[in-house]
């Protein structure tokens, strides 16, 4: 089976990064063919946080109203000690984020974000083909021939690997080692707020920090549900590439150890957890790790990161915005467009990856380091917890 496309951009992967890239490119007049290996688009239930650097882009794509219908917009982020329950610091979000950064801080169910991006891609005329996984490609001066394992052959101007942390496109392009296990296990859960006692319901982001662990919870789905993630240290599971394994409450409680009464009560209120092993890569060290020739990488395929800065999806959406800007840059050759994309993105992604690793050490600190963390948060509060270099910068700056 062969399809002759007019040198479209082929995007491998229909997750958040791939859909975002498809939307951004199509809105700028760049024809897109989106390939997804799954037979249908589906996303397991989990929440994500998206800061003003990300919501600003979604608004620029005309998705602000759709976002407002499904997201929650917390008024504050609160840090607490996992053992004592004491409030360590508070960062005001809500109107402050809007005023300072020109866009809100939002929390959203991952499936809701994927859904609104999917609808936007359809509205923009993106050609989405399900059940197609990229197997390889051959290049020429004029174009690429992209081949799928299912027998599809596409003539493309470029191939974008947005196929996640276990990216097949990355493996063929760079041939490097698989993503590394971080030594951290994440347990996640979604609970209807109506099913919780009143004092356990929440309209804010709360981070509990303790020795070798932390817990974060926040509202999603217009505040009707509460998303919880507990991260502990542990051994690599046998099926480490399956992020949605069944996790047991008993195993989580044992790994958490002696936490305070407030946190213990909240964890015990969750009827079921799912577990996955966290993987990442060393921070990007050169633009060549994000683009070579007519092939580029985006999102987790390029820079999988630990979730301790809540920017995995955010960096993929920023990538998408810059990619579309570069690919719509007039008569510049595609290879130069992709090189420009990589040069604009690699250092920022590397900074976020590095900061996420650092945050993990701070969140999970023990002994004197934990005491110093708690003291600095009490004394400086918002100055420690805010991230102006992140929220106020990016493809669409807060000053625009």
Which band of pLDDT confidence, cut at 50, 70 and 90, is reported for residue 113?
very high
For residue 244, pLDDT beyond 70: no
**Residue count (the chain):** 400
Using the Cα atoms of residue 93, residue 96, residue 100 and residue 106 in order, give the sign of their dihedral: positive
The residue extents of the domains of the chain are 3-178+282-391
> Per-residue pLDDT for 48 more than 80?
yes
Give me the helices (H) in the chain, please: 16-27, 52-60, 64-70, 94-101, 110-123, 168-174, 249-256, 261-268, 312-327, 334-363, 367-380, 382-385, 388-391
State yes or no: pLDDT of 399 exceeds 60. Answer: no
Band of the pLDDT at 5, cuts 50, 70, 90?
A: very low
Distance CA 189, CA 230 (A): 9
pLDDT of residue 46: 85
Answer yes or no: 391 catalytic: no
Q: What is the pTM of this model?
A: 0.94
Q: How confident is the model at residue 146 (pLDDT cuts 50, 70, 90)?
A: very high
Residue 378 CB coordination number (10 Å): 14
What does the pLDDT read at residue 380? 87
Note the pLDDT of residue 376: 93
pLDDT surpassing 80 at residue 3: no
Measuring CA to CA, how many Å separate 216 from each of 78, 199, 202, 248, 264?
10, 17, 12, 18, 13
- Superfamily of chain region 3-178+282-391: FAD/NAD(P)-binding domain (3.50.50.60)
Distance CA 10, CA 302 (A): 16
Q: What is the pLDDT of residue 350?
A: 98
pLDDT confidence band for 249 (50 / 70 / 90): confident
49 membership: H or E segment, kind and range? strand 47-50
pLDDT of residue 398 exceeding 60: no
| Segment among 54-63, 114-123, 169-178, 240-249 with least mean pLDDT | 240-249
Share of the chain above pLDDT 70, in %: 94
pLDDT attached to residue 400: 41
pLDDT in tens, 254-292: 899 889 999 999 999 999 899 889 999 999 999 999 999
Tokens representing 290 are: 């994000």
Q: Which of 105, 218, 308, 391 is catalytic?
A: 218
| pLDDT of 143 | 85
User: pLDDT value at position 250?
Assistant: 83
pLDDT of residue 285: 98
Least reliable range by pLDDT among 192-196, 247-251, 290-294, 386-390? 247-251
Band (pLDDT 50/70/90 cuts) for residue 141 is confident
What is the token pair recorded at 327? 């690919």
Quick check: 144 pLDDT over 70? yes
Of 239, 271, 238, 277, the C-alpha closest to 255 is 277
* Per-residue pLDDT, 240: 55
pLDDT digit string, tens, across residues 50-101 = 999 999 999 999 999 999 999 999 999 999 999 999 999 999 999 999 999 9
Mean pLDDT rounded to a whole number for the chain? 92
User: What pLDDT is attached to residue 199?
Assistant: 96
The structure tokens listed for 83 are 């053992």
């Amino acid at each position: 089976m062969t399809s002759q496309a007019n040198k479209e951009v082929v995007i491998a992967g229909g997750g958040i990064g791939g859909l975002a890239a498809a939307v951004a490119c199509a809105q700028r007049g760049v024809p897109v063919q989106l390939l997804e290996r799954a037979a249908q688009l589906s996303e397991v239930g989990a929440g994500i946080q998206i800061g003003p650097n990300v919501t600003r882009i979604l608004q620029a794509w005309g998705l602000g109203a759709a976002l407002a219908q499904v997201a929650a917009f917390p008024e504050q982020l609160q840090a607490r000690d996992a053992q004592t329950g004491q409030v360590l610091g508070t960062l005001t979000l809500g109107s402050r984020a809007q005023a300072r950064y020109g866009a809100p801080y939002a929390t959203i169910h991952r499936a809701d974000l994927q859904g609104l991006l999917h609808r936007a891609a359809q509205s923009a005329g993106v050609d989405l083909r399900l059940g197609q996984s990229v197997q390889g490609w051959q290049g020429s001066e004029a174009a690429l021939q992209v081949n799928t394992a299912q027998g599809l052959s596409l003539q493309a101007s470029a191939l974008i690997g947005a196929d996640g942390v276990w990216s097949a496109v990355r493996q063929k392009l760079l041939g490097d080692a698989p993503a590394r296990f971080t030594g951290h296990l994440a347990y996640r859960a979604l609970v209807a707020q109506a099913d919780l006692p009143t004092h356990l319901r929440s309209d804010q982001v709360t981070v509990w920090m303790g020795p070798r662990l932390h817990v974060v919870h926040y509202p999603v789905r217009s505040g009707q549900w509460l998303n919880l993630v507990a991260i502990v240290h542990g051994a690599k599971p046998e099926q480490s590439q399956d992020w949605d394994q069944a996790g047991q409450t008993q195993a989580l409680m044992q790994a958490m150890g002696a936490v305070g009464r407030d946190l213990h009560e909240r964890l015990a209120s969750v009827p079921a957890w799912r577990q996955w092993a966290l993987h990442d890569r060393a921070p990007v060290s050169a633009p060549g790790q994000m683009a070579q020739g007519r092939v580029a990488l985006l999102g987790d395929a390029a820079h999988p990161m630990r979730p301790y800065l809540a920017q995995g999806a955010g960096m993929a959406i920023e990538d998408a915005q810059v990619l579309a800007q570069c690919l719509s840059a007039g008569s510049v050759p595609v290879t130069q467009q992709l090189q420009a994309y990589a040069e604009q993105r690699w250092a920022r992604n590397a900074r976020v990856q590095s900061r996420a690793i650092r945050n993990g050490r701070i969140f999970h600190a023990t002994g004197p380091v934990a005491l110093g963390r708690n003291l600095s948060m009490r004394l400086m509060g918002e100055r420690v917890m805010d991230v102006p270099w992140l929220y106020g910068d990016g493809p669409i700056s807060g000053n625009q």
